Amino acid sequence: MRQRLEAFAADVFTPLARSDQRAKGGTYLRGLLLDGRRKSMQPLADRLGVDHQGLQQFVTTSTWDTTGVRMRLARRTDEVVEPVAWVVDDTGFPKGGKSSPGVARQYSGTLGKVANCQIGVSVHAVTDTASCPLDWRLFLPTSWDDQAVDEAARPGVAARRARCGIPDQERHRPKWALVVEMLDELADHGLWPPLLAADAGYGDNSQFRSALDQRGIGYIMQVKGDALAHKPDARPVERVWSGRGRPPTRTEPRYPKTAISLVEHVRAAGRSAAETITWREGSKGAMSSQFVFLRVRPAGHRVARDVDGLLPERWLIAQWPDDQAEPVKYWLSSLPEATSHTDLVRYGKIRWRIEHDYRELKTGLGLDHFEGRSWIGWHRHVTLVTAAHLFITELRLDPKAAAPA
């Protein structure tokens, strides 16, 4: 694979202006792909038989921008994977100290608990058989934003930011906003999602769903059953002032009846409405379950409405297995009403590829092995690991290449 890897590195590192930087990029990439448990700087250099300081300088202090390399990787990923969807998620990087950028005691879905960690947010191109990251952001909690903390804490936070080299424009933003930034950046480079899938951490946020609607991006996202929605035939009515007290400050039409939870919508439809859907072949055979499909209008004051005050109509998909007394999962989707039920389930379930990516990126390629404490170092390491993952993905998709599954 050596010649093939060199050709791959020559292509993806084309945006780097200097030949020595392109050479270092290829060397680091080779180190990530070699056998070995730790992919941090020192053991990686030892395995390669190169100077540790040279590699460290390339990742932490050299003058190259990750954006050009990432966008080149993203375009190549889009061509190789031919995604049916993009999936967004985040993953935790456990840390022992407090000096790495963005580290804090925060909840990580990867760890399943609150822990001292960094959180990386990512967008992936996926199919049922292949996937690869397209872009990354490092989440900054409010404790890392000297404009968001109490005045007494600002000098200490500013000093911490300076030690890590965090750019002044990088502030605390919710994870969904980081995803929107990545989608806009990828769109600026000519890349557009066929549709977007996400878990309830993103799907429950009506601002995120509205941002996708504004961009014309179709989505299917898991949500909690207590989210509220109206029936599809519900219509808003004009507000009427009784003449007593103060006139209402809001004048737009409102829905006359209180919205009910998604679980109540599904219960009203009943188990008899459930269909058995098979969405893909798993390692133990066909994967199937029972699902209820309804049309609803998700409620919420942050949900964008049309000029008549009408809430958008969406798909509600609920998984209700025969052996369960209640539905176990819910999704909302903006996909067209004519979308087949099988496709709705397949797209809703396609998030499983993310777990495959995170597992391989971390255990095989050292995504969470970076020990540096700089902002740019983290982003460069993550970019280089993504390149290694794309190389492996290309080998798997090439029937002529002998590559592990």
Per-residue pLDDT tens over the stretch 1-43: 889 999 999 999 999 989 999 999 999 999 999 988 888 889 9
**Are residues 194 and 303 both part of a single domain?**
no
The rounded percent of the chain whose pLDDT value lies above 90 is: 74
Return phi, psi of residue 30, to 5°: -65, -40
Per-residue pLDDT at 400 = 66
pLDDT surpasses 80 at 152: yes
Do 225 and 297 fall within a single domain?
A: yes
Per-residue model confidence as pLDDT tens digits over 55-88? 999 999 888 989 999 999 999 999 999 999 999 9
pLDDT at 308: 72
Rounded to two decimals, what is the model's pTM? 0.92
Is residue 74 assigned to a domain?
A: yes
Within-domain flag for 246: no
Residues 128 and 216 in one domain: no
Residues 335 and 361 in one domain: no
Q: Region 145-152: what's the mean pLDDT?
A: 94
Domain contains 257 = yes
The band of 405, judged by pLDDT with boundaries at 50, 70 and 90, is: very low
Residue 283, in any domain of the structure: yes
Asked, for residue 245, whether it belongs to a domain, the answer is no
For residues 341 and 378, membership in a common domain is answered with no
Residues 92 and 108 in one domain: yes
Work out the mean pLDDT of the chain and round it to a whole number: 92
Whether the per-residue pLDDT at 403 is higher than 60: the answer is no
Domain closes at, from 335, 350, 365: 350
Please check whether residue 243 lies inside any domain of the structure: no
What is d(CA 91, CA 281) in angstroms, rounded to the nearest whole number? 26
| Together in a domain, 109 and 224 | no
Specify if 156 maps to a domain: yes
Whether residues 172 and 259 share a domain: the answer is no
Query: Does the pLDDT of residue 249 top 80, yes or no?
Result: no
Total structural domains in the chain?
Answer: 2
State whether 229 and 193 are in the same domain. no
pLDDT (0 to 100) of residue 250: 67
Question: Residue 304: is its pLDDT beyond 80?
Answer: no
Does residue 404 belong to any structural domain of this protein? no
Evaluate if residue 344 carries a pLDDT over 50. Answer: yes
User: 225 and 133: one domain?
Assistant: no
| Residue 115 CB partners (closer than 8 Å, separation 6+) | 92, 94, 105, 106, 108
Structural domain boundaries enclosing 64: 2-199+354-397
Whether 272 and 363 share a structural domain: no
Same-domain pairing of 309 and 393: no
